[in-house]
Structure 1
């Protein structure tokens, strides 16, 4: 984990005044990689400035669980001031609330109340959307298990399901709570993105589309994630074609296809020319959010990984004319 900021090395790596295209976003995984999961909520202003110092004009922020989110909410004025002072945009604010997918109605209800605080925070910070992991299948995880960014396939293969779970009833209740979440988000003028991760009901494009049809809300969108979807063997170009013009937010990172990892672009096995050709074909002109890092990726210099990927996207955009 790269928890210290080497200003001399950074100055040498980044040309003076380098500023990336505003369609290139720095995902919050940058701060997570530097400071651990979750990074302290009281450090948000610092995280904003560090991402701006790299040259990004578009960034992500997160509220991770109820307590973390409450602190971000309390500091929203100072965070908004920092965003504006650095001339940044915040297309997405992530609200990480796995309880929305719980099989327990009381947990879903409490999570929905917290979700509204997340939407109010997002709107106060000037975001256009909120984002969360797609709902996990309601496995019977130990009650003291902390929130994870990714659950390993070994854990998911060996965890049970609640004895009371009736799938049809759960699916109906899940659609209802996500419909309510979409309506809350819409009340704040926000889109609501679901993120694909292993074990979730949206780990593939098809999984998202099935859930979206059940929810039936226009502001429910998919956060395409190249590394996660490549890992679960999805054909990325086909996924892009299925989403078409509804797609406007993508997490960009590379992967070898053998395990969960989020590598700098070009360091894995994804065929990026095929990917950008598909982006061009569907007329994509949204945000490409660099989502590189995490403990699972073993990146020694996270600053250079983000700079490398941002410059690479700039070159790909010159070649393909995406935005």
Structure 2
């Protein structure tokens, strides 16, 4: 299929996750690329999820880059999921930064503009290891607790330093470091990100506005876009009802899309929009149709 969809509209990796679980088999990445291409996308998102999956993708990076080149595809943003990057243990931090640099190598090999990761996970202790989940729901968060001996001031200084280092690593590869908001993480709101940005003091630290996640956290999307002008170059788009974490097809939730796209025009947004529909929490039965419809909807309403 010829690429019918504008290259600033991205098929997010949630498409593959929704079909094949979390994480999908890294060895099947080429097949996942083909499926997204067949929908008509020329821009897609890929991920490296935690150490094992990320290292498998790293081992395939040259093969993936060649496939992208052969098909005329782009990966504007590569997502690395490294929740332990914000750990208190310095040895863990250094190991995670090493993985982060490998993720930057993958992103660079694909010609990406940025590397995406969830905003910092607080120093929670879980009954076992950090759960391998996309979102930390109420049940997961209720099982977590903070160490009794934590000094918030020392921890804050540590993660600011860690994420400044991560930004420096990303900059070495010509990448922005884009923070994805989610329930339960630090810097997931407009205020939270701007506060963190002021502390880290790196101009390549950006925010990935996620319409569904921001909406369920009761943020006014139009106000957020205005306040975050210059800080957002990538948006994840899906609908949401406002009562729970879900990533619904456009039009099946309560987001005012007329106001949203009007605001994109007002702030002269020049970045990419990733269609981020699905996940086990959303119950999307016609996934392909939802992605194609969303791409058509965005094309009609986004004045680029």
Q: Shorter-chain TM-score: which interval?
A: over 0.9
Q: 2-side partners of 1:188 and 1:145: how far apart?
A: 29
Q: 2-side partners of 1:272 and 1:208: how far apart?
A: 23
RMSD: 1.2
Count of residues in correspondence between the two structures: 304
Q: 2-side partners of 1:27 and 1:196: how far apart?
A: 15
What's the CA shift for 1:158? 4.6
Contact 1:245 1:283 in 2 (8 A): no
Residue aligning to 1:204: 189
Q: Deviations over 1:104-136 (max 9, x none)?
A: 222111101110111011101211110000011
| 2:149 counterpart of 1:149 | no
Residue aligning to 2:240: 255
Q: 2-side partners of 1:259 and 1:227: how far apart?
A: 9
Residue aligning to 2:113: 128
Contact 1:255 1:263 in 2 (8 A): yes
The counterpart of 2:99, out of the listed 111, 114, 117, is 114
Please, what TM-score do these two structures have when normalized by structure 2?
0.97
Matches within 5 A, 1:1-323: 17=2, 19-317=4-302, 321=303, 323=304
Q: Deviations over 1:251-282 (max 9, x none)?
A: 00000001000011111000111111111111
Contact 1:153 1:198 in 2 (8 A): no
Instruction: Out of 207-216 and 100-109, give the one that drifted further.
Output: 100-109
Q: 1-side partners of 2:231 and 2:133: how far apart?
A: 29
Q: 2-side partners of 1:203 and 1:246: how far apart?
A: 13
What's the CA shift for 1:301? 1.5
Q: Deviations over 1:198-247 (max 9, x none)?
A: 01112211111111111110000000000000001011111000011332
Is there any run of 5+ residues in structure 1 with no aligned partner, and where? 1-15
Q: 1-side partners of 2:151 and 2:230: how far apart?
A: 35
Is there any run of 5+ residues in structure 2 with no aligned partner, and where? none
Q: 2-side partners of 1:303 and 1:195: how far apart?
A: 24
